Amino acid sequence: MTTTASAETPAPPRVLLTHHLRQLKLPTVLREYEKVAAEAARDGQDHIRYLLRLVELELIDRERRMVERRIRAARFPAVKSFDTFDFTAIPSLNKPLTLELARCEYVVARDNIIALGNSGTGKTHVALALGLAACQRGFSVTFTTAAGLVHQLMEARDEKRLLRLQAQLGAVKLLIVDELGYVPLSQTGAELLFEVFSQRHERGATIVTSNLPFDEWTSVFGNQRLTGALLDRLTHHVHILEMNGESYRLRQSKARRRKDPAPSDEPGVDPETGEITPA
Ligand code: ADP
Ligand code: MG
């Protein structure tokens, strides 16, 4: 479609304006211009203020749309933030450091973050919250689990599109690899994962969460040399988040039980934790 007005039947200005604003991709101006014009007339504002208001509204909306797009592209399994994170539940976690990291300077510096701790201590929650903060500050993010990433890499290799996937993984500003250590990797899997970390080294920030302390990482990668080289790269510029403590879920279900004791006098099994509950 061209934007030149037809000579025979000149389109009314509103029709043309709608068309031009669509073409310029200014949906908020299109939606708001009449309402804001009425307000400007009521308040006796000049044209410049009217235009400024419309442009501001478009900018605010555009920023919001971009954050939403980044969040969708990140493929978070859930959207979680630090607003819902209770730091008192995990005293081993350095709160000032964590909140400092939420400002995302490590993304610019291309540093890494490794969150270590037993199951249920909020590692995934913190990784998601850091990922969300990065999306809000304008960085591209990809969230995946170690097992999921290895699966994707193997599939891409079989379908001869490994280079393209590697390029994508190398280009994202923040890569989050959750749950390293839950599943031991095959040799090929370990090598492919190593390559990802290696290619990102000093080129992009990476967050890794693991239930295993570093000295047990060899059991995941199955190879001491590879593990050594990997740790060397990952820990070169790294912020470590110590997250050992009581499982948050376990603690919550215990608290629930204290408040609301089971009516039965038979011992039972907590459905969430599998723990035997005394009568
Ligand atoms: P991990 O990844 O360390 O196994 P998760 O992050 O999956 O633990 O936490 C388990 C559940 O408990 C999640 O629903 C998470 O949101 C919640 N959770 C864990 N720690 C906290 C916390 N300190 N404050 C609020 N919610 C928490
Ligand atoms: Mg987790």
Atom 20 in ligand 1: which residue has the minimum CA distance? 122
Q: Any alpha helices (H) in the chain, and if so which ranges?
A: 13-23, 27-43, 47-74, 95-101, 105-109, 123-136, 146-158, 162-171, 187-200, 218-221, 224-234, 248-259
CA of 164 to the centre of ligand 1 (A): 34
* Token representation of residue 88: 């008192």
Q: How far apart are CA 157 and CA 12, in angstroms?
A: 57
Neighbouring CB atoms inside 10 A of 86's CB total 10
| Gap between the terminal Cα atoms of the chain | 75
Question: pLDDT tens digit string along 147-175?
Answer: 999 999 999 999 999 999 999 999 999 99
pLDDT for the residue numbered 274: 52
Neighbouring CB atoms inside 10 A of 144's CB total 20
Question: pLDDT tens digit string along 59-107?
Answer: 999 999 999 999 999 999 999 999 999 999 999 999 999 999 999 999 9
Question: Considering the entire predicted model, what is its pTM?
Answer: 0.85
Closest atom of ligand 1 to CA, residue 89: 23
* Torsion angle of the four alpha carbons 207, 210, 212, 213, in this order, in degrees rounded to the nearest 10: 30
Atom 21 in ligand 1: which residue has the minimum CA distance? 122
